[in-house]
Structure 1
Amino acid sequence: MNKNNNTAQKESLLRKDDDVDLKKIVGQFATYWKLYVLCILVCLLLGFMYIRYSTPLYKVNAQVLIQDEQGSGASSLPSSDLLGDFGGLFNVQNNVYNQLAILQTKDLLEKVVKEMQLNIVCYNKGDIRDVEVYQRLPFTARFEPLSDTIVPATIQVVFKDNLKAENKFQVSIGDTTYEAKFGAAINISKGRLTLLPSGLPIQSNTYLLSLNSVDAVIGGIQSNLNIDIKDQETTVISLSYNTNVPKKGEDILQNLIESYINRNLTEKNQISDSTIAFVNSRIGIVSKELGAIETDIQHFKQANKLADITEQSKALIDNSSTYYARLNELEVQLSVVKTMLNYVIKEENFERPVPSLLTNEPTFLSLVQQYNSLLLQKSRIALSVKEGNPIAQNLNNQITTLRSDIIKNLQNQQKSIEISRDRVVKENDILGGKVYDVPVQEKQYVNLSRERDVKQALYLYLLQKKEETAISRASNMSSATVISRPRADFQPYFPNKTVILAISLIFSLVIPTGYVIFKKLFNVRVLSKDDITQSTIVPILAEIGHSEKQGMLSLDSEGRSVIAEQFRIFRTNMDFLVGSRKSAHILITSSMTGEGKSFIASNIGMLYAYSGKKVLLMELDLRKPKLSAMLNIPNVTGFSNYIISNKHHQEFIKPIPQNKNLFLMGSGPIPPNPAELLMSSKMDQLMEELDKEFDIIIMDTPPIGAVTDAQILSKHSHINLYVVRQSYTLKYNLEIINELLENDRLSNLYLIVNDVKKGSSYRYGYGYGYGYGYGYAETDKPKKKWFGLKS
C-alpha cells in the first residue's frame, strides 16, 4: 500500500504557535454572555439593596491642643514672682505622647461609658434592620448588672394600646413575656432593669434593648476610636470616632475630652494639695512649740519677779544684737533643712512631691523640680504600662538617684549651717564672758527669747508659703484646650455608593470569568478546537455536529439538514485525499469506545453510495462490533467466518437496503484471537479481491488506544481517520496521536471531530453551518442550555 509522507507532521510537533488570538480569547467568554448579563443584573441589584439597607456610618472629628512644656499655673499670675520657690512643683513638662497615651486608657472610656450608660442601647425594631434610637426614647433605662462581665442580652419592649393608659408595657426576655410598669424594677438573669418615662411620645410599638457589659462596650469604642498626632511639629491631638448615630458620637467624644481635661487638672492640683497638707502639719507643730516657749518665758518672769529686763541688759543686747540676728537666721535655716531632710528620708514620702522650702540654694531647687517632674511622669505612665516595664524601671532608677542627690545636698547644707552657727555661738560666748556682770536670770531670758524668735520666724514663714500655695492652686488650669469641638460629618462615609457599585460590577465580571476559567482549567475532556490544535498538529478533516439519531441518516428526510451538509463537506474533503485511486481504503479508529466511529463510517459510506460509488463497510471491530446493530442487519456471519473458512468472500457481504451501492461485511461471531485473524495472509488476499469490486472500502476498527487492531490494519489503508468526540474524548488521549506520528505507526492521519454541540465553546462563537445553526438540523430539538450548562 502507498503511504503519504508525514515527516512534516512529525516536525511540526516540535513547533508552537506563540501568537495570541485576542478574538479567540474573547470568544471563549462571549459564549457565556447570558451568564454575564445575569451576574451583572444580580450583582447590581445586590449592590443597590446593600446601599439601601446597610447602616450608614459617620465620622466625628475633634482636636485638642496640648500646651508647651512650661505649665500655665503660677506664671500666669501677676504675683508670680512670689511663687518662685514652688515653681518647680507646677511647671511640669507636658509630653504630648504621654497625653496621647492617657487619652487612650480604659479608665477614661470606662468613666464615659458609665456616665452615658452606653452599655444600654435601644433600637427601633424594623422589618429588615433595626435602627438605633438615641435621646428620642419615650423612656430612660437603668440597668444594674449582677457582675462586671455579662453575656449580651436583648430585651423586647412592646407598648400595646390597651396598656398605654396605665403606663404599662410588655417585656419579652427569651421565651418569657410579662407585663411591667414604669418605675418598677424588672429582675432578669443578668441584673435589674428599670424603665422610667422620659416625657417624649411613644413613636413605635416595639423597641429592643441591647444590654452589654462595660468591658464589651469599651472594646467597641476603642475599635472605632482613632487618636493620633497629625503633625509632628505641633502639639495638637486629633480625635475621630466612627458611629452610626452622629449625635451619640459627638457626645462620646465630648465626654471623653472633658474627662481627660478634668483628670489633667486633678493631677496638677494633687501637687498643691500635697504641699498644703505638709505645710499645715508643720504649722501645727511649730504653733505648739511657740506656745510652749512663750509659757516658759511667762513663768520665768514670774519666778524671778522681773519687770523690765530690757533696761537691765541694754548694754549687752546692744553689743550682741548683731550676733543674735545672725544666729537666729542660721537657726531658722538649720530647722528648715532638718525638716526637709526628715521629710525626704521617710519612706512614706517616697511617692510624694518634695516642697522646695529652701529658696537660696539653686542646686537644691533644680533637684526638687526634676524629682517632682519624674514623680508626675511616673504616675502617668503607670496608667498604660506595667511595673516591670523597662520604661517604669528606668524612671524608678532616676527617682532613686535624684532622691539620694537631694539627701546629700540637704546634709551638706546642714553641715555648712552648723559650722556657721557654731562659729557665731563661739563668738557670742566670748562676748558673754566679757559681760560677767549680767545676771544669770537675764542670760536665761535671752536664751528663751532667742528660741521664741526662731519659732516665730518659722511660723510666719510657713503661713506665707501656705497662702502662696493656695493662690497657685486656685489659678491652676489644664494644659489641654479644645480647639475644635466634636462635630460629625454631614454625609456618611459608609456605604460609599460609587465604591459599592464598582465592586458589584467587578464581581459581576469576575464570577462568570472565574467560572469559565475554572471550567477550562479543570476540564479533562476535549471541549474546543483549541484543545485539539494545542495538543497535536494533525489536521482536522471534518467537524460533525450533534445528532439525536445514532444510526445512519436518511437523505430523503434529512437531506437538507446541517448534519447532512457537514457529511457532504466531509466527503468533498475526502475526495481530495482519495484523488484518482481506483479503490480507496479508509480506516476509521479513535482513542476509546463510544466516540462515534461506526456513526461516521456508516454515514460517510452512505454519502459515497449516493454519489454513485460502490462502497463496502467492513466491521473490523471484532471485539465489540456495533456497525451491524446500528444498520439493523443480523451479524450471524461475517469476517471472522470468512478467515477461518474456504468460502468466497461474496457469501459474507450483505447489501444495505438504504442504497443499492452500499454493502456491509459484518464482523461475525466474536473470535478469541482477533489480532491473529487480522494478521492472517488471507486478509491480504481479501483486500486485493475487494479492490476489484469496490470504489470505497471503509474499515471500522477498534479504538487504537485500547488494542493494536487498527495498527495491524493500517497497512491496508490509504487514509486513516481518527475520531475525536467533543465533551467525551479525554485530552491526554490526544497524546496517542502524537505517538503514532512520532513512531511512524500510522501515516496519512486526519482527525474527525464528532458530536460538536450547538452553542458550545468549540469555535467560541464564530458560527458554523449552512443557514440552520451549528450542529442541528431544521427538525432537531436541541436540549435547553443556560449559560453553557445543560438544563
Structure 2
Amino acid sequence: MSREKIDWEELTAFEDKNADNKDLIRFVGRVLHNWYWFVLCGIVGLALAFLYLRYTVPTYNIHAKLLVSDDKKGGLLGENALADLSGLMGTKSSVDNEVEVLKTSDLMRQMVLAENAYIAYFRAGSVRDNPTFRSPYLIRLLSSPDSIISPIAYKIKKVADDELEFFSSDTTFKVKLGKAFDVAGVGRLTAEVVDGVVVDDTYGFSITPLRKLVDSYSNSLTVEVTNKNVSTIDLTLVNELPKRGEQLLATLIDKYVELNLHDKNVIADSTLSFINARLTEITEELAGVEDRISGYKRSTQLSDISEQSKLLLQNSADYTKSLAEIETQMSVLQAIMDNLKDKNNPRVVPSSMASQDPSFAGLISNYNELVLQRERLLLANTNDNPLVQNVNSQIANLREDMVSSVEASKRNLEFAKSKQIQMSGQITSQIQRVPTIERGYIDLARLQQIKQAQYIFLQEKWEETAIGRTANVSNSKVIDSPKAEEFPFSPKKKVIYALGLILGLIVPLGTFYLKDLLNVRINSLDDVQAKTPLPVLGAIAHSVDQDQVVVTKTSRSPIAEQFRALRTNLEFALNGGKTILFTSSMSGEGKSYVALNLAVSLALLDKKVILMELDLRKPSITSKLGLPAGKGFSHYVVRPDMRIDEIIMPSGAHENVDLIQAGAIPPNPAELLVQPRTQELMKKLLETYDYIIMDAPPVGVVTDAQLLNRYSDLCLYLVRQGYTYKEQLVIPNDLQLKGRINPIQLIVNDVQAKGGYYNNYGYGYGYGYGYGDYGQETKKKWWKFWR
C-alpha cells in the first residue's frame, strides 16, 4: 500500500510540474471552443454601441479664458492714472474670489433670463428629438419667467396661414399666430412664424422651470484656475449645440462684467449722491451771503478798504478756509457715522470723502466689499444662512473698528477746529479795531470765503468722483472668446465602440464564471482534484448507447477503450489483489454500470470474474442484465445448508463473468454482511475466481460499504459528472483519513465533452476520451453550437 501511495504522489508531482500553466491553457481552450459565443456577443455589443451613438445627442465643450486683476499676481490694468483722484476703484479682488462669483446661481440666472434659455427648440425625430439652434417658429413668454412651475414640451404643426397646432402625447390644441394664449403651469405665451425659414420637418419647443434650468446649467459649467502662477480663469460649458453654447457662455461673461462694474459704481454713486446734496445746500448759502455783500456795499457805498484791512481779511480768509475744510471733514465723518448706525441694513460708505488716513481708507474699502458681498448673498439666501451670518459678523467687527477710527478722527478735528477758532478770534479782535463799516464788510467777506471754500472743495470732489466712475472698468478681460470644440465631448465614438466590444466579450466570460460559481456539482476532473487528494483511477465518458454492456470483444468505441484503460490502471492499483469494492456517495452515480462493464473488460483477458450484487436494499444489476430474480446472497447467508454453486449463475454478458444476485431483500442487510457465512463465501470465491467485484450500496446513505471493506483489496469510489455534489467528496476523504475504507481511488463517470484543455487527454490514464481512428466520429460541428 505504501508503494502505491508513493507512486501516486510521484505521478501527481510530475503532473503539477508539467502543468503549471494549465489554468491558462484551460481558459484559452474554453474560449477557443466557445469562440462563436464571443463573436456573437462582440457583434451584439458593437451593434448596441452603434445604436447608442446613433440615438444619443452629442454634447460639446465650449471653452473661454478670462484674465483677472489680482494684486498678488500682477494687475490687469497696472497702476491706474486716476487712482490718486479717488479711492473708489479700490475693492481688492483675487482670482479665487472671482471664480466663486462666476459659479453663483444668481449670475447663471441672469444669463438664462437674458438669453430666454428657458425656451428651447427641437426637431422631432422618429426615435428621439434633436435640439436645434434655429427654428421656424418663435415662442415668447409674456408672463414672468418665475411663473413657470412645471416643464412642458409640444410639437408644432402649421394647419393654416394664421393658425398653428400644438400637440403632445396627451394634449392637442390650436393657437392663432401673434395671439396670446395661456398654458397651465407656465403662463401666457405667443407664437410667431420666422420669416424666410422653410418648414421642412416637424419642430417643437420645450419650456423648463427657471430654478431647474439654472441648476442644470450650473452643473454643466466648470470654472477653474489651471495655473496658479497667473491670474487666468478657464471656463468650460457643456452644451448640445456648439453655437448656442458659445452664445450662452459669452452672455454669462457679459453679465459677470456688468456685475463687476455694478459693484464699483455703487460706491461711486453713493459718494456722488452725498456730494450733490451738500453742493445744493452750500450753493444756496453762498448765494445768500453774496446777496448780503451786495446789499451792504450799496447801503454803505463802500468801494474799497485799506491795505491793512485787506491783509487782515486775507489772514482771516486763510483761517476760515482751514476751518471750512475741518467742518467739511467733520460733516463727512458724521455722514459715515450715520451710515454705520443701521446695524441690520448696512450701506456702502462714500469712501472718496473720507480721511486721507490709509488705514481708515482700507477699512472703508473692506467694509464696502463685505456690504456688496452680503447683498449678493441675500439675493439667493436668507439672513439665517451661515454664509450671510459669517459676512454679518465680519461687517459688525469692521463697523466697530470704523466707529472707533471715526471717533478718534472727530476728536482730532475738534482739537484742530478749536485751534483754528482761537487763531480766527485773534484776527477778529484786530479787525474790530478798524472802522465799523469796514469791519461789517470783512465779516461778510469772511463768511463768503468760508462758503466759497466749502463749495470749491465739494465741486472738486464731485469732479474727481464723476471722472473715476466714468473710468471704471471691469477687473477682468476676455483673452480667449468662447469657442466650441470641433468634435463632441460625449459620446466618444472610439470609446463607445471599445466599451461595446469589451462588454460584449465580458458577457460570455461572466456567464461562464457565474455558471461555475453557482454550480454545486462536479463538472470536471479539476473539480474532483480541487476537493480531494485521492487519486483518480480513470474517467468514463457519457454514453448515448442504451445497452448496459458497452464492452465487447469487437468494440472499438471511445467508451470501450476507456474501460480498457481503466482495466490497465486497475492492475497497477490492485498490486496483486483480487477483490474490488464499488461504492459512491448516493444512488444514481453508475456503480452497477461501471462494475458490470469493468467485469466484462477483465473477462476479455481470459480472467474469471464474479460480480456480487451486494446492494441488498436496492439491487439493480439483475434488472440491467435482464435476468430473472432468483436465489442469491441473502439466501446463502441465512441458510447454512445452501451450497455456493446454487447462488452462482451466468451473467450473460460474457462467458467468464458470473453473477451472485442479492436475493430476497432482508430486514437486516448490514448484519448479514458480517456473518461468518459471508466470510466463508469470500474465501471460497477467492479460490475459484481471478477477480471479485462487489457492488455495494452508496456509502453516503448506509454503512454497508464500510462493512464490506474488510473483504476488499481496493475500493473504487464513483463520482458522476453533473450529478455528484462537490461537498460529497468530503465523504471519501473522511473514510480514508479515519481508516474506515482503505485504499480508495476515484472513477469519474458520465464525463461529457465540453471542449477545451482535457478533451483528448488520451487513453493511457483514462482521464479523457478521443475520436478519430478509435471509434465513430461524434464530435459536435461548429454550426451546431446551439446544441
Alignment correspondent of 2:532: 536
What's the CA shift string for 1:184-233, capped at 9, x where partnerless?
33432222332211124344442232221111111111111111112212
Alignment correspondent of 1:126: 125
172 and 186 in structure 1: CA distance in 2 versus 1, 3 angstrom threshold: farther
Shift of 1:519: 3.0
What's the CA shift string for 1:480-523, capped at 9, x where partnerless?
21111111111223222332333334334433333333333343
Instruction: Tell whether the 8 Å contact from 1:636 to 1:668 is kept in structure 2 after alignment.
Output: yes
Alignment correspondent of 2:652: 657
Shift of 1:327: 2.7
Alignment correspondent of 1:710: 705
Alignment correspondent of 1:596: 590
Instruction: Tell whether the 8 Å contact from 1:13 to 1:738 is kept in structure 2 after alignment.
Output: no
Alignment correspondent of 2:663: 668
Instruction: Tell whether the 8 Å contact from 2:261 to 2:472 is kept in structure 1 after alignment.
Output: yes
What are the ranges of 5 or more consecutive residues in structure 1 without an aligned counterpart? none
Worse-matched range after superposition: 378-387 or 539-548: 378-387
Alignment correspondent of 1:406: 406
139 and 770 in structure 1: CA distance in 2 versus 1, 3 angstrom threshold: closer
Instruction: Tell whether the 8 Å contact from 1:635 to 1:666 is kept in structure 2 after alignment.
Output: yes
Shift of 1:319: 5.3
Alignment correspondent of 1:43: 45
Instruction: Tell whether the 8 Å contact from 1:9 to 1:537 is kept in structure 2 after alignment.
Output: no
Which among 534, 546, 549 is matched to residue 553 of structure 1? 549
The one-letter amino acid of 1:237's match is I
514 and 766 in structure 1: CA distance in 2 versus 1, 3 angstrom threshold: farther
Alignment correspondent of 1:31: 30
Which among 470, 475, 478 is matched to residue 471 of structure 2? 475
Alignment correspondent of 1:137: 135
Cα distance in 1 for partners of 2:309, 2:521 equals: 128
Which among 585, 595, 617 is matched to residue 611 of structure 2? 617
Alignment correspondent of 2:318: 326
What's the CA shift string for 1:6-63, capped at 9, x where partnerless?
6648999999997662234331453242333333222233233333433222211111
Worse-matched range after superposition: 240-249 or 526-535: 526-535
29 and 129 in structure 1: CA distance in 2 versus 1, 3 angstrom threshold: farther
Shift of 1:780: 6.9
Shift of 1:76: 5.4
- What SS does the aligned partner of 1:346 have? helix
Alignment correspondent of 1:261: 257
723 and 369 in structure 1: CA distance in 2 versus 1, 3 angstrom threshold: closer
Alignment correspondent of 1:562: 558
Alignment correspondent of 2:272: 276
- Matching of residue 700 in structure 1 with residue 695 in structure 2: yes
- Matching of residue 521 in structure 1 with residue 511 in structure 2: no
Alignment correspondent of 1:626: 620
Which among 169, 190, 196 is matched to residue 194 of structure 1? 190
- What SS does the aligned partner of 2:516 have? helix
Shift of 1:644: 1.0
Alignment correspondent of 2:569: 573
Worse-matched range after superposition: 651-660 or 746-755: 651-660
What are the ranges of 5 or more consecutive residues in structure 2 without an aligned counterpart? 378-384, 763-767
- What SS does the aligned partner of 1:353 have? coil
533 and 356 in structure 1: CA distance in 2 versus 1, 3 angstrom threshold: closer
766 and 116 in structure 1: CA distance in 2 versus 1, 3 angstrom threshold: farther
Instruction: Tell whether the 8 Å contact from 2:90 to 2:365 is kept in structure 1 after alignment.
Output: no
Instruction: Tell whether the 8 Å contact from 2:551 to 2:563 is kept in structure 1 after alignment.
Output: no
Cα distance in 1 for partners of 2:467, 2:397 equals: 34
Instruction: Tell whether the 8 Å contact from 1:591 to 1:736 is kept in structure 2 after alignment.
Output: yes
Cα distance in 1 for partners of 2:773, 2:64 equals: 69
Instruction: Tell whether the 8 Å contact from 2:124 to 2:155 is kept in structure 1 after alignment.
Output: no
Which among 330, 336, 341 is matched to residue 344 of structure 1? 336
Cα distance in 1 for partners of 2:782, 2:529 equals: 29
- Matching of residue 586 in structure 1 with residue 585 in structure 2: no
Which among 47, 53, 56 is matched to residue 55 of structure 2? 53
Worse-matched range after superposition: 230-239 or 729-738: 729-738
- What SS does the aligned partner of 1:288 have? helix
334 and 586 in structure 1: CA distance in 2 versus 1, 3 angstrom threshold: closer
Worse-matched range after superposition: 519-528 or 699-708: 519-528
- What SS does the aligned partner of 2:483 have? strand
- The RMSD of aligned alpha carbons is 3.4
Instruction: Tell whether the 8 Å contact from 2:267 to 2:350 is kept in structure 1 after alignment.
Output: no
170 and 149 in structure 1: CA distance in 2 versus 1, 3 angstrom threshold: closer
417 and 217 in structure 1: CA distance in 2 versus 1, 3 angstrom threshold: same
Alignment correspondent of 2:369: 376
Cα distance in 2 for partners of 1:265, 1:301 equals: 52
Cα distance in 1 for partners of 2:407, 2:759 equals: 94
Shift of 1:252: 0.8
Instruction: Tell whether the 8 Å contact from 1:616 to 1:696 is kept in structure 2 after alignment.
Output: yes
Shift of 1:377: 4.6
Shift of 1:718: 2.5
617 and 760 in structure 1: CA distance in 2 versus 1, 3 angstrom threshold: farther
Cα distance in 2 for partners of 1:707, 1:272 equals: 103
Which among 683, 692, 697 is matched to residue 688 of structure 1? 683
Which among 287, 293, 298 is matched to residue 289 of structure 2? 293
Shift of 1:295: 4.2
How many aligned residue pairs are there? Answer: 762
Alignment correspondent of 2:765: none
**Bigger RCO of structures 1 and 2 (CA < 8 A, at least 6 apart):** 1
Worse-matched range after superposition: 652-661 or 290-299: 290-299
- Matching of residue 737 in structure 1 with residue 735 in structure 2: no
Which among 669, 674, 677 is matched to residue 672 of structure 2? 677
Worse-matched range after superposition: 165-174 or 191-200: 165-174
The one-letter amino acid of 1:209's match is F
